[in-house]
Amino acid sequence: MSKTFTYPALRSTRENFKCPNCSQALTLNADSHPKTYSCTNQHSFDVAREGYLNLLLAQHKRSRNPGDSDDMIRSRQRFLGAGYYRPLSDAIVNQVANSAAGFNQALIDLGCGEGHYMQELRNGSSKASADLKLLGIDISKFAVRLAAKRKMDARLVVDSAFNIPLFENRIDTAISVFSPISSAETARILKPNGTLIMVGPGEQHLSGLTELIYDKTVPHAGNPLDSAAQFTLQESIEIKGDISVKGSDILDLLTMTPYYWHSRPEQQEMLTKRENLETPIHFYLKIYQNVSP
């Protein structure tokens, strides 16, 4: 059964989040301030009511509400919850389950969004009665709040995946689903020989949707690493299929993607009136090993 993560005061500072101001370990004073984390330099951060930490400093924001819009996040939550991407979530869960450590490891979702894939991983680890230490980070506070409401026993933080508030060699596996990351920063937090699972769209992904929006479609370029110097590619897994999207789920599919911003009002109206949309889904899971010293 899932539960809310309570952010215990951990014995090892390497297990704690880092202060975004000074990089010292954030610890909890359970007696005097049971919901406030602070460092030795007295920088403090309160745990939100839903149970997450917001470590994104105002000076590090590029906009008032960075990350995907609230509408995109809600649409993604509904669409993914309807099961259209089940082959992808199953592939991610199976990849972790069949690794050397199985679910008995520390795993972080970089750009976790509203927590759909984390929830699937937690469900898998619960069925296996395994000790999966689950962490999630996203720059959108709204997305992290929704993820926290899932109460899936995960440590969740609002911050950038390009400045991960963890100490070195902390994580066994990092995953990124359609989310850009920093190779150097990801390698830093991964343990030696740790695993990175990069998920990106295949060339034909959602072509049934894009052909209704663009006069000429361009194949997807995937979700590439910004640098491969820290990693070696171990395996590439291709997932292909077809889905039939029904009713209001069609607009959710459009809204959760960048295609929404490229579609004209009349195209959006046309999609709201459709009863069904047939489209391929196409993904690549690229499995990398951390080779950084």
Give the span between the Cα atoms of 47 and 57, in whole angstroms: 15
The CB density around residue 226, as the number of other CB atoms within 10 Å, is 13
Tens-place pLDDT, residues 104-156: 999 999 999 999 999 999 999 999 999 999 999 999 999 999 999 999 999 99
What does the pLDDT read at residue 62?
66
Pull the structure tokens for residue 136: 């999630």
pLDDT of residue 35: 86
Amino acid sitting at position 172: D
| Tokens standing for residue 172 | 């066994």
Q: Encode pLDDT of 191-215 as tens digits.
A: 999 999 999 999 999 999 999 999 8
Task: Quote the pLDDT of residue 61.
Answer: 65
Phi/psi at 277 (nearest 5 deg)?
-135, 120
Q: Which helix (H) or strand (E) holds 270?
A: helix 265-273
Q: Nearest CA to 285 among 36, 41, 66, 117?
A: 117
Q: How far, in Å, are 159, 172, 174, 220 from residue 169 at the CA level?
A: 19, 8, 12, 33
> What six digits make up the tokens of 278?
């047939």
Angle of helix 70-81 relative to helix 116-127, nearest 10 degrees, comes to 40
Mean pLDDT by 10 residues, the chain (293 residues): 47 74 88 82 94 85 78 98 98 97 98 98 98 97 97 96 95 96 96 97 95 86 84 96 97 96 94 96 97 85
* Stated pTM of the model: 0.92
- How far apart are alpha carbons 251 and 108 in whole angstroms? 30
Return all residues near 61 (Cβ < 8 A) that are at least 6 apart.
none
Q: Which helix (H) or strand (E) holds 271?
A: helix 265-273
